[in-house]
Amino acid sequence: MKTTMMGSYPKIPAGPGPSVRTAIQRFEKGQLSAQQLYNTYQLVVKRVVDLAADANLDRTTDGQTRWYDLFDPVVRDLDNVHSAGLLRLFDNNFYFRHPVITGRLQYQGGTLAAWSQEAVSSSRIPVTVVLPGLFTFLALAEDQNYHSADTLLSDLIDVMHLTVRHLESTGIAEVQWDEPALARYGGRWPQDTVHDAYRALLGPAGTTALDQSLALYWGPSSSWVDVLTDLPFSRLSFDAISDPAILSRLSADALPTEVGLGLLDARSVRMEDPEALAAVLRPILAAQGPDRVWVHPSCGLEFLPPDRAALKVRLLQDLKALING
């Protein structure tokens, strides 16, 4: 069994230590220089990747420490897209600046690759970069240019493909496509459309040296299992908190891809019992194979206060020790 972070992580400490929040406040008051603010970001990224490594996780993100939201670096790296008004991120008391597309998408690159290189240089374990999935981007962006979902999707695939190509040179191990919209608004897109879009994005197996995984969360995901498993994803991740039915499916059928299980509720301060999690996990390990199952929080941990987020990471460590010995 392997363990990983899922995306975001609190940008503030549970106790003393560097805080992005405080640094930004002080920077805006003229009490910190740009260099000092930059240094704070680096220290916080280091804290996140160190936490993951110390907890014996197999992969980590940079906690999306520099990110305003899931779309932020992608919007920075594309021309003819800008961040506009705040919208609620699904059912969370968290708000993102929705991307507005004003012209044909062009990839310029630079920001995400630089941030990713920084995470790699700080981390003792392999790094994953999370990107908004194609359909989550389509669902939450505002199109003022294409007025054709097919044409927009085609161009989006092109620029996301370029994004992945650029990330290959940064030293990261994995790109994770986050698709809460597929789980939340499952019926909005024909399954063939979703399948073909990801087929086009991923290309044939071996196109890139990077692992590419897909994460479904905040809604039912079982209906996507058969649609997505013949694609060359390195892992399909499911949110067992919002879709417990996925557990019985994964206990019964071995999937051709590795499986990620969001067993820890990343939006609840209640701490799970490792023994109870292990009991849920064992039939899935038996069905999928013990080295083909990843366990992780149900989504990014930034929805929790920093003390509870750290406890959830350490819970992953306890669970892994319990299962792997």
Residues that bind another protein (CB under 8 A): 10-12, 14, 20-21, 24-25, 68-69, 85-88, 90-96, 142, 268-270, 302-308
211 or 243, CB closer to another protein?
243
- Minimal distance, residue 64 CB to another protein, in Å: 11
179 or 302, CB closer to another protein?
302
205 or 276, CB closer to another protein?
276
- Minimal distance, residue 303 CB to another protein, in Å: 7
84 or 280, CB closer to another protein?
84
- Minimal distance, residue 162 CB to another protein, in Å: 28
SS3 174: strand
Output the six-digit token pair for 310.
């750290």
12 or 278, CB closer to another protein?
12
- Which CA distances in Å does 4 have to 8, 98, 208, 264? 12, 28, 21, 12
**Rounded distance between C-alpha atoms, residue 99 and residue 85, angstroms:** 9
- Minimal distance, residue 84 CB to another protein, in Å: 8
- Minimal distance, residue 273 CB to another protein, in Å: 14
- Minimal distance, residue 287 CB to another protein, in Å: 31
42 or 92, CB closer to another protein?
92
Choose among 232, 256, 258, 259: nearest CA to 246. Answer: 259
- Minimal distance, residue 36 CB to another protein, in Å: 16
Residue the block writes with tokens 């995306």: 7
Q: Quick one: 83 exposed, middle or buried, by C-beta within 10 A (0-12, 13-18, 19+)?
A: middle
SS3 213: strand
Helix or strand (DSSP H, E) at 79:
strand 78-88
88 or 124, CB closer to another protein?
88
214 close to 237: Cβ distance less than 8 angstroms: yes
Choose among 222, 218, 252, 248: nearest CA to 236. Answer: 222
SS3 13: coil
Amino acid at 267: R
Report strand pairing: 142-143 vs 95-107.
parallel
Cα 152 to the chain's mean position, in Å? 23
